[in-house]
Chain A
């Protein structure tokens, strides 16, 4: 088989894996938009906040240590213990639920019936607030995150493809784990929304707030639930990306990777986020491989948006978004 074709196959598989990681971020946007019509600008920062909280808890870091020390003149930084990863994840989930409740009670409840742009602006404010809160709670320094996920080349794939093509494919074990987790997450989310009372209530709110309210569904509860789910998805995305690059401020920028996925997959479809992620992942990687060298490289960021725009021209609601019907 020609070398270029073999390389393209390797790149396609890696593109699919990268797409899953993008989709993990996009999922959080979809959940909130679907249930409340809010484009949550703070989703990337929620991933940062979740990952910083997780590492902070694992390392036994004292939250707001700088503030406490500055006010009380103490020198406390650590509790002196290390929390197992699984327990720390559970505690972080509780923190994210608390955050969801706070966002709903302190911000969103007061903005019911406001224009979507007002709600969007509120999430911008929330993003900057959470950035500052993350810094204040856990500090700005980079932190390594190790929850026991495997990283590095998958030797079985390397050896198998070497026997088949004379060239061993590189597939990162972390990407394989991310793919499995994303598949489980999507299955669980779909099952939750289809087969549970709260899930059906969530879908009812997504379809029509007022009708849902009239049959006794609590909007407050559903929105807290949705923000909690988005917080959980943010935590999963934060763990995956944080394991790759360490937990640091730049983690919030992963939202940039989710935007073209949303444009392509639609803002209201969970499967759309996954398929959109896969298309963007493969598209940008193959373009970089085939065309990048001819035009100086570094094409991935902008090509993802070009690809999404092309889809938008032909299907404005995205691949899986609800069809826009205006009756006049």
Chain B
């Protein structure tokens, strides 16, 4: 009898306890709903990289990884539910993939001592690590995107864009409005005129905005769009014969999804980026060998090498490298979310490391610190070749305008610190 009770108790403990053998990386994916076309490749890339690490290297530091996927449908409430239902599994770092979910999770992850990585989205001022201890947005954020676009225009205009007219076509939401303040500051600094053109969700009808662009003939058009808004905007630009090389989208407006529907007319369209594009990197050979050929590719396995797949792959690589850093700092392979946070804060992504991973120049070289959770903010530009059906990186990853951005980040993060009662650290 005693033996039976002991056996039952042990069984219950084993069943109830977390699986300590795995390093858990939750994936708040959206494979369904209006934005599924963007969510699927990211989720596939994220999952495939961890599968590669398991199959090729036996995990990270000898510990297998486990991707815990939870479907959010790009819905904030579902995203929070996913967080609550997966955090007890030993989840090391969250990638909410939605600015709305990010805002909800900032206080929760901080309270639960779990780090969150919002790469190229989320709350921009989270770059200030002194206030946002558990949120990281390296290597770039929305405001970096705005500054990166203007820097690129300066570069192609011999450093002078005074008197130019630049239009911003943006999703009429908190996300779409993110770059406005930065662009207003940059307009004042560089002397260009800023024309603001909001587009209501979901963005299927943009005739008014593009007729205005046709009338006012801005020198350049920037776009902060997502989902169907991107495809319609590119098509409308083609329709009014706007020069595509003068049309630049943010990185969420720069995937294959956004240009394919417009056909050859989209040739020359540009988009900002914080990672490289295409599949001409050694890591893709390994993915083919260890993931695809073994039948372990995520999803249908048909997204490999697309822009958003690469973004998922890059996010996974940064998470894995932060986990390695955490293992080194704490001297244990079996890290906790708090240790993972330390690893992210000490992350150093240099060129040698990326080359060793089979991903040379896949992203900018950067390092993270307690004060700076956003890195040095290096932004590149890609361009679509409609005949080859490929995106190409046409600029280096270049620094953004800290003179304009730093005060805005300090102001916004100070407001959050006052609102949340946070004493800045570091």
Across the two chains, which residue of chain B brings its CB closest to A247? B261
Q: How far is the CB of A55 from chain B (nearest CB, A)?
A: 11
A140-B202 contact in complex given A151-B235, A170-B240, A250-B227, C-beta closer than 8 Å: no
List of A residues within 8 angstroms of B34 by Cβ: 248-250, 253
Interface string of A107-151 (1 = CB under 8 A from B): 000000000000000000000000010010001111011100001
The answer to whether A140 touches B40, judged by C-beta atoms less than 8 angstroms apart, is yes
The answer to whether A135 touches B36, judged by C-beta atoms less than 8 angstroms apart, is yes
The answer to whether B265 touches A152, judged by C-beta atoms less than 8 angstroms apart, is yes
The answer to whether A298 touches B232, judged by C-beta atoms less than 8 angstroms apart, is no
* A172→B207 CA distance, assembly (Å): 10
List of A residues within 8 angstroms of B260 by Cβ: 142, 144, 246
Q: How far is the CB of B191 from chain A (nearest CB, A)?
A: 22
Q: Does A194 have its Cβ within 8 Å of any Cβ on chain B?
A: no
* A267→B87 CA distance, assembly (Å): 49
Q: How far is the CB of B37 from chain A (nearest CB, A)?
A: 4
List of B residues within 8 angstroms of A145 by Cβ: 261
Binds B, one of A178-186, A284-292, A317-325: A284-292
List of A residues within 8 angstroms of B370 by Cβ: none
The answer to whether A250 touches B208, judged by C-beta atoms less than 8 angstroms apart, is no
A297-B197 contact in complex given A153-B239, A288-B208, C-beta closer than 8 Å: yes
Q: Does A14 have its Cβ within 8 Å of any Cβ on chain B?
A: yes
The answer to whether B240 touches A245, judged by C-beta atoms less than 8 angstroms apart, is no
List of A residues within 8 angstroms of B240 by Cβ: 153, 170
The answer to whether A140 touches B36, judged by C-beta atoms less than 8 angstroms apart, is yes
Interface string of B15-36 (1 = CB under 8 A from A): 0000000000000000111111
Q: Does A241 have its Cβ within 8 Å of any Cβ on chain B?
A: yes
Across the two chains, which residue of chain A brings its CB closest to B256? A142
Task: Name the interface residues of B226-271: CB closer than 8 Å to any CB of A.
Answer: 227-228, 231-232, 235, 238-241, 257, 260-261, 263, 265
Q: Does B205 have its Cβ within 8 Å of any Cβ on chain A?
A: yes
From A145, A170, A257, A288, residue with most partner B Cβ within 10 Å: A170
A257-B205 contact in complex given A77-B300, A245-B231, A246-B260, C-beta closer than 8 Å: yes
The answer to whether A257 touches B204, judged by C-beta atoms less than 8 angstroms apart, is yes
Interface string of B155-178 (1 = CB under 8 A from A): 000000000000000001000000
A300-B239 contact in complex given A142-B257, A144-B261, C-beta closer than 8 Å: no
The answer to whether B40 touches A77, judged by C-beta atoms less than 8 angstroms apart, is no
List of A residues within 8 angstroms of B300 by Cβ: 65-66, 69, 77, 139
Q: Does B79 have its Cβ within 8 Å of any Cβ on chain A?
A: no
The answer to whether A245 touches B241, judged by C-beta atoms less than 8 angstroms apart, is no
* A301→B203 CA distance, assembly (Å): 10
Q: How far is the CB of A170 from chain B (nearest CB, A)?
A: 6
Q: Does A156 have its Cβ within 8 Å of any Cβ on chain B?
A: no
The answer to whether A300 touches B31, judged by C-beta atoms less than 8 angstroms apart, is no
A152-B228 contact in complex given A135-B36, A146-B263, A250-B202, C-beta closer than 8 Å: no
Across the two chains, which residue of chain B brings its CB closest to A253? B202
Q: Does B196 have its Cβ within 8 Å of any Cβ on chain A?
A: yes
Q: Does B4 have its Cβ within 8 Å of any Cβ on chain A?
A: no
Select one of B33, B37, B196, B208 contacting A142, CB under 8 A: B37
* A11→B386 CA distance, assembly (Å): 31
List of B residues within 8 angstroms of A289 by Cβ: 208
List of B residues within 8 angstroms of A69 by Cβ: 300
* A130→B213 CA distance, assembly (Å): 38
The answer to whether A285 touches B204, judged by C-beta atoms less than 8 angstroms apart, is no
Q: How far is the CB of B134 from chain A (nearest CB, A)?
A: 32
Select one of A14, A248, A257 contacting B207, CB under 8 A: A14
Select one of A244, A254, A301 contacting B235, CB under 8 A: A244
* A299→B298 CA distance, assembly (Å): 41
* A116→B226 CA distance, assembly (Å): 37
Select one of B35, B200, B227 contacting A300, CB under 8 A: B200
Q: Does A296 have its Cβ within 8 Å of any Cβ on chain B?
A: yes
From A145, A285, A300, residue with most partner B Cβ within 10 Å: A300
Task: Name the interface residues of A166-190: CB closer than 8 Å to any CB of B.
Answer: 170, 172
Across the two chains, which residue of chain B brings its CB closest to A70? B300
The answer to whether A170 touches B214, judged by C-beta atoms less than 8 angstroms apart, is yes
Task: Name the interface residues of B181-239: CB closer than 8 Å to any CB of A.
Answer: 196-202, 204-205, 207-209, 211, 214-215, 227-228, 231-232, 235, 238-239
A interface residues, Cβ below 8 angstroms from B: 7, 10-11, 14, 18, 65-66, 69, 77, 132, 135, 139-142, 144-146, 151-153, 170, 172, 241, 244-246, 248-251, 253-254, 257, 285, 288-289, 292, 296-298, 300-302
Known: A245-B261, A250-B34, A298-B200. 14 other contacts (CB 8 A): A14-B211, A18-B207, A77-B302, A135-B36, A139-B300, A141-B37, A142-B257, A170-B239, A241-B204, A248-B34, A249-B34, A249-B35, A297-B198, A297-B209
13 A-B residue contacts at CB 8 Å? A7-B211, A14-B207, A140-B37, A140-B40, A141-B257, A244-B235, A248-B228, A250-B227, A251-B228, A297-B172, A297-B197, A297-B198, A297-B209
B interface residues, Cβ below 8 angstroms from A: 31-37, 40, 172, 196-202, 204-205, 207-209, 211, 214-215, 227-228, 231-232, 235, 238-241, 257, 260-261, 263, 265, 300, 302
